[in-house]
Amino acid sequence: MSPSVTTANNSPLIMWTKTSTPKSVRVSKWNGTSFSIPYDIVSPVLEVTGFIGPEIASKGDTVYIIFLSARSPNNYVYLISSFDGGLTFSDTVRVSDNSNTYKFSMPNVTVNTDGNPIVSYMTCTNSWTDWEQMVKVSSDFGNTFSSAFNVSALAPGEPCDCCKSSLVANGNEVFFLFRNNDMDVRNAYVAKSSDGGLTFTTANDIDDANWVIGSCPSTSAQGMLSRDSIIIVRRSGANSQDKLLLSAVNSTDLQYAYNHNIDPISFGVQNFPEIAGNRDTIGVVWQDNRNSYMDCYFSYSTTGANTISGSVYMSDTNNVGSQTDPDICFTNGVFHFVYENVGTHEILYRSATFSNNTAITELDNNQLTICPNPTKEKIKISTHLKGLVSIKNIEGKLLMQVEKKQENEVIDISLLPSGIYTVELQKQTIKFIKQ
């Protein structure tokens, strides 16, 4: 199932793979009192596949989901988008090239400052050789993408073929995290782009333990921005001990400060970590079998990464058997968690709120709401803000300006052609679709 959680307009949105036939991608959104009835957002014709499920990313009301399709023998990568907080989704857009020469796998996605998706995936030949980690960028909200850039070419050897990559974006700086294979040394690497992900200029090894393993560990590095550092967590099996390592990597020169074992245990395998937070508030989730069954654990700090230590049992104590595949996100002082109960095939959600903690402050920049979205003739802009409303196309060209004088302002956009537009008011921005 591989559940994932994000927030759209500050409300949790959960996604997972429906594994029964026909396979699809399924979502459920919090409506203020409960989660909605799960609904499929991908046509069964596309045959969702991959042992690592779809990935989700969001910013404000914009949500992107990337997945692998078995419709072709080469497993093409597709993207779907939502611009109303996950209530409705667009048609699919193929991200990978139309190729009969290369196979595709392990897609991932993040959202940049402008609300555009940055995606990654792996390629290999039809004979399962010559693995590469590729990155593409969209400047029109996922309608089209740039040429693929081979980030793994910056590192020796080749990327691990069963370990997905991850992306962290901050303005024009994009950081690409992947596990590399250099003569069976499976270390974590971080690469940096200074032009929004179009190109990458350097990649650094951030491991000093040198995990030597003759097969792919099927687990990857995950990261988040914290001030001037990328905080990275990953599994390492070096020195015959499966553990979680946390590092702070300088965002300028990619040098790491430490490799910290988050929660040392005497028995078991710690795996599949995920990380989220804001500034000095950082949370990490993972699964391990220290108690024979797989369970999910949470470790956190409100004073920076170097003070993360120990763990909180996150699984439901009322459930018997393995609980796996945790995911985490953080918005407005709240950590949101999801994980799977293997025995019952249930997706479980929990949250954690920190009170009286001024260190966790994350404001949603999107104070605007628009309805209906998509629309055909008119939009209603709702916000306490007043002033000049600017409507631009996806290239940034100004098309309309209207003075907003009341909390709910209706604007006639019937003369605009079909497409994606932005509404700007007092440095706040939101998108809408004109049908």
429 Cβ contact list (under 8 Å, min separation 6): 115, 366, 368, 422, 423
Each residue of 1-39: pLDDT tens digit? 689 999 998 899 999 998 777 788 999 999 888 899 999
- String of DSSP letters for 327-377: EEEEETTEEEEEEEETTTTEEEEEEEE--S-TT-----S---EEESSSBSS
Among the listed ranges 27-36, 236-245, 408-417, which one has the minimum average pLDDT value? 236-245
Full-model pTM: 0.83
CA within 13 Å, CB half, 242: 15
Residue 213 has pLDDT above 50, yes or no: yes
Closest by CA to 65, choosing from 74, 77, 75, is: 77
Each residue of 112-135: pLDDT tens digit? 999 999 999 999 998 889 999 999
Query: 3-state DSSP call for residue 305?
Result: helix
Most confident of 193-202, 265-274, 284-293, 378-387: 193-202
Percent residues over pLDDT 90 in the chain: 56
Residue 357 has pLDDT above 60, yes or no: no
Q: For position 367, what pLDDT does the model report?
A: 53
Q: Rounded mean pLDDT of 320-343?
A: 91
Most confident of 60-69, 261-270, 317-326, 367-376: 60-69
Q: For position 64, what pLDDT does the model report?
A: 97
Residue 374 has pLDDT above 90, yes or no: no
Q: Which residue has the higher pLDDT, 355 or 35?
A: 35
Q: Is CATH 2.120.10.10 the right assignment for the domain spanning 4-353?
A: yes
Does the fold of domain 369-434 match that of domain 4-353?
no
Tell me which fold the domain 369-434 belongs to: Immunoglobulin-like (2.60.40)
**What residue segments make up the domains of the chain, in order of their start?**
4-353, 369-434
Distances (CA, A) of 225 to 167, 244, 382, 410, 430: 11, 18, 32, 38, 24
Q: Rounded mean pLDDT of 181-188?
A: 93
